[in-house]
Amino acid sequence: MTAPHPRIVPQPGVMGIAPYVGGEAGAPGANRAIKLSANENPFGPSPAAVEAYRAAAGDLALYPDGGATELRRAIAAVHGLEAERIVCGAGSDEIISLLCQTYAGPGDEVVHSRHGFLMYAISARAAGATPVAAPEHDLSADVDAMLAACTERTRLVFLANPNNPTGTLIAGAEVARLAAGIPERALLVLDSAYAEYVDEPGYDPGAALVAAHDNVVMTRTFSKIHGLAALRLGWAYAPGHVVDALNRVRGPFNVSAPALAAGAAAVADGEHVARSAAANAAWRGWLAARLARAGVPCTASHGNFLLARFGEEGPASAPEADAWLKTRGLIVRRMEGYGLPGWLRISIGDEAACRAVAEAVDGFRAARA
Ligand SMILES: *Cc1c(COP(=O)(O)O)cnc(C)c1O
């Protein structure tokens, strides 16, 4: 830790931020690590997206289209949305940050569920606002608790559905009840980063609620099923007044030209999305069953990862399992930062990765029984 400077002092809230720690990428000693710590697509991006990215190399001297016109048009066409209601960002992380900067400041509150995505509290603090964690029920967002956490100071309510890191999904009727129940002055942000992985009849990532309310926003990302995490690309679907405000706060060229080009190609490749979702569903089910058989239960995940319970203490605990997996070249995510020290989050890789995890966990459980 660096000592605080005597005169040059960050805005209130900034030094209260616990810096976000991303998933580790490598394991010392293991010559070929498999990274299962950041929910990336093991199949990578659509080949069409890679081609578009390469083609963009010819025009790097030129500023990108600050309005992201082509990309918004492509997203709108694929998802059946209005292009005028879309705002693009450098990852949905930037959209989350812009929403906090735009709508919350000192004295304001930002509500999220207890084990919600960490960037909500980080971005709230960065804006000087106060994050408020609502209790969950069985590691699932609890709408009554979130509504009870709202006050006249609430400006934003964040809900990831499915949630990262718990993987849990709440029913559409519950999301609608949340949208209808939050204070008039608050904006509900539905973070649908894992929408493409959801296989539940009637699931709506949020566009219908955005259309029905003037205070609901949906966020999406190209980092997960589209396999473009390195490019940093995400978007929001929002009421016109929110679009107008975000467009004033965001940088005029916040999304790079290669990201715009690759994103437009990626969103149009429905086959790549469908193939990735199908493989994920199959191997997620397979791995969850194998872990359960080994005595390691998981939450019901609707994303491209499992949240697996090893326990907090003893020879078979989550930290011990993490170390065991690491020496076998399997990098997963510790959950202390989320207040879940007895759990590990394991991204669903390809078949070889899932089989390697199952075998390593079997070996671990046998050795530590
Ligand atoms: C991964 C993730 C994001 C961030 O995605 P980027 O677009 O890469 O910034 C947002 N929300 C949730 C819930 C996520 O898991």
Six-digit token string for 132 = 């408020």
CA of 258 to the centre of ligand 1 (A): 19
Specify whether the CB–CB gap between 269 and 45 falls below 8 A. no
The per-residue pLDDT for 13 is 87
- Edge-first strand listing for the sheet containing 333-334: 305-309, 343-347, 333-334
For the domain spanning 29-44+271-368, the CATH number is 3.90.1150.10
Q: Is the CB of 162 under 6 A from ligand 1?
A: no
Please give the Cα distance from 27 to 327 (Å, whole number).
7
Q: Measured from the CA of 38, which atom of ligand 1 is nearest?
A: 1
Specify whether the CB–CB gap between 235 and 223 falls below 8 A. no
Please give the Cα distance from 344 to 326 (Å, whole number).
12
CATH 3.40.640.10 fits domain 47-268: yes
Give first-to-last CA distance, the chain, whole Å.
Answer: 39
From 40, 41, 164, 302, mutation site for ligand 1 pocket: most ligand atoms within 8 A of C-beta: 164
Most distant CA pair in the chain, distance:
61
Q: Domain ranges in the chain?
A: 29-44+271-368, 47-268
> pLDDT by residue (tens digit) across 215-239?
999 999 999 999 999 999 999 999 9
Q: Is the CB of 229 under 6 A from ligand 1?
A: yes
Least confident among 28-32, 245-249, 256-260? 28-32
pTM of the full predicted structure? Answer: 0.96
Please give the Cα distance from 334 to 23 (Å, whole number).
9
Q: Is the CB of 40 under 6 A from ligand 1?
A: no
> pLDDT by residue (tens digit) across 118-155?
999 999 999 999 999 999 999 999 999 999 999 999 99
The per-residue pLDDT for 21 is 83
Give strand ranges (E) for the chain: 34-35, 86-89, 109-113, 130-134, 136-137, 140-141, 154-160, 187-191, 216-221, 234-237, 305-309, 330-331, 333-334, 343-347
58 burial type by CB count under 10 A (0-12 exposed, 13-18 middle, 19+ buried):
exposed
Name 111's bridge partners.
132, 157
- Average pLDDT on 47-68 reads 98
Q: Is the CB of 92 under 6 A from ligand 1?
A: yes
From 221, 222, 348, mutation site for ligand 1 pocket: most ligand atoms within 8 A of C-beta: 221
The per-residue pLDDT for 27 is 61
